[in-house]
């Protein structure tokens, strides 16, 4: 038995060495390679290479009007950014803020701050809507971009945005950014007289979005005596709160009894089954951003129980 095992590992070592020698030989004329992985295919590269630059490089063929963008914006964006770009809760404000950049609290919106319209198109295409990034088509991205520009009074209500006229859009703060080429200026981080993080007590955060690990212990604990499902609470904060705390994309807002009365009547077992097995309508499994592959059935059930507790 010992000799057989010894022989097996000897063969394994020789095979591994041969594989390494082959890889080394293959890249011997190309320093910097380690013989690992493979060259990405054109399809894989195309999936990542979707950025759009300020000069319009990278824009695909397509078009979208302000009128079409209005409906898409209300369906996909307004729940976070407000019907008129005013922002909901602590979600970003998209419109307004003109002449505020020198104020103590400037409003940095698409119209007041962003120097390039390409930033709006690019970010919308890659990362929005928050719960389903890259689900918008090219034409839908053009339309939503056109509507946000319209909210900022940068285009007219009959405007149709295309690849050809994209660079005609003039952003108010286009000249507000410049390269600081002064040779005697060095940016150094100020690390003197810093506030002690332990002394900071946060009144409210967006669970799942605002980092809170560094804050004072117990700053966000539930009131004494309040029934808390601790495991469900933690799962909820990490995976559910970003939508259900604010009603994003039609998610029933936790804590609002009206939104939960009918759901609670079906029973926790039914709600948990729907969340785990994908019976949530268009949303599918919970959480919707990638499904619930990282959560066990027990995790999801605990989160549902917590949400029901907080909504009765």
- CA 292 remoteness from chain centre: 16
φ and ψ at residue 281, rounded to 5 degrees:
70, -135
- The pLDDT confidence band at residue 171, using thresholds 50, 70 and 90, is very high
The Cα 264–Cα 283 span in angstroms is 19
- Tell me which CATH code domain 51-168 carries: 1.10.760.10
The Cα 136–Cα 9 span in angstroms is 53
The Cα 157–Cα 174 span in angstroms is 22
Q: Considering the chain, what is the average pLDDT of its residues? A: 78
User: b vs e for 275-291, b when ≥16 Cβ sit within 10 Å of the residue's Cβ?
Assistant: bbeeeeeebebbbbeee
Could you tell me which of 148, 33, 161 has the C-alpha nearest to residue 95? 148
State yes or no: pLDDT of 29 exceeds 70.
no
Could you tell me which of 220, 218, 209, 312 has the C-alpha nearest to residue 304? 312
Instruction: Write down the residue that tokens 């285009």 correspond to.
Output: 155
125-143: average pLDDT: 93
- The pLDDT confidence band at residue 212, using thresholds 50, 70 and 90, is low
- Assess contact for 81 and 140: CB atoms under 8 A: no
pLDDT in the model for residue 239 = 75
Dihedral sign from CA coordinates of 15, 17, 23, 26: negative
Instruction: Write down the residue that tokens 């009959």 correspond to.
Output: 158
Query: Please, which residues have CB within 8 angstroms of residue 241's CB and are 6 or more apart in sequence?
Result: 206, 207, 208, 254
17-44: average pLDDT: 64
pLDDT tens digits, 251-303: 788 888 777 888 888 887 888 777 777 555 444 566 654 444 457 788 888 88
Give the class (CATH, top level) of 227-310.
mainly alpha
78-95: average pLDDT: 90
25-39: average pLDDT: 65
* 227-310 matches 51-168 in CATH topology: yes
DSSP 195-245: PPGGG---S---TTTS--TTSPTTTTPPPTT----HHHHHHHHHHTHHHHT
Domain parsing of the chain, residue ranges: 51-168, 227-310
- More confident position, 67 or 255: 67
Which of the residue ranges 93-97, 189-193, 204-208, 242-246 would you say has the lowest mean pLDDT?
204-208
The Cα 40–Cα 42 span in angstroms is 7
The Cα 56–Cα 108 span in angstroms is 23
CA distances from 11 to 2, 5, 17, 22, 230 (A): 14, 10, 10, 16, 52
How many distinct helices (H) and strands (E) make up the chain?
11, 2
pLDDT in the model for residue 12 = 46
């Amino acid at each position: 038995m010992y000799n057989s095992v010894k022989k097996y590992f000897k063969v394994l070592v020789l095979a591994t060495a041969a594989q390494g020698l082959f890889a080394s030989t293959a890249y011997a004329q190309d320093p910097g390679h380690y013989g690992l992985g493979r060259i990405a295919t054109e399809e894989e590269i195309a999936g990542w290479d979707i950025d759009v630059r300020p000069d319009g490089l990278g824009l695909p063929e397509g078009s979208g009007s302000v009128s079409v963008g209005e409906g898409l914006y209300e369906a996909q964006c307004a729940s976070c950014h407000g019907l008129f770009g005013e922002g909901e809760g602590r979600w970003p404000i998209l419109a307004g803020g003109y002449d505020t950049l020198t104020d103590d609290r400037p409003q940095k919106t698409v119209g007041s701050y962003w120097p390039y319209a390409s930033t709006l198109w690019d970010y919308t295409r890659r990362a929005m809507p928050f719960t389903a990034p890259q689900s918008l088509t090219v034409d839908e991205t053009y339309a939503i971009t056109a509507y946000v520009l319209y909210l900022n009074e940068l285009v007219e209500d009959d405007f149709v945005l295309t690849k050809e006229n994209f660079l005609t859009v003039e952003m108010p703060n286009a000249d507000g950014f410049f390269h600081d080429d002064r040779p005697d200026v060095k940016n150094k981080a100020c690390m003197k007289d810093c506030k002690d993080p332990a002394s900071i007590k946060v009144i409210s955060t967006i669970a799942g979005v605002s980092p809170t690990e560094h804050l004072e212990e117990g700053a966000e604990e539930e009131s004494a005596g309040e029934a808390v499902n601790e495991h469900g609470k933690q799962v909820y904060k990490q995976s559910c709160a970003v939508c259900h705390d604010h009603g994003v994309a039609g998610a029933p807002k936790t804590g609002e009894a009206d939104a939960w009365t009918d759901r609670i009547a079906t029973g926790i077992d039914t709600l948990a089954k729907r969340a785990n097995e994908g019976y949530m309508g268009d949303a599918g499994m919970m959480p919707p951003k990638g499904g619930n592959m990282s959560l066990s059935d027990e995790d999801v059930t605990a989160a549902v129980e917590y949400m029901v507790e907080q909504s009765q």
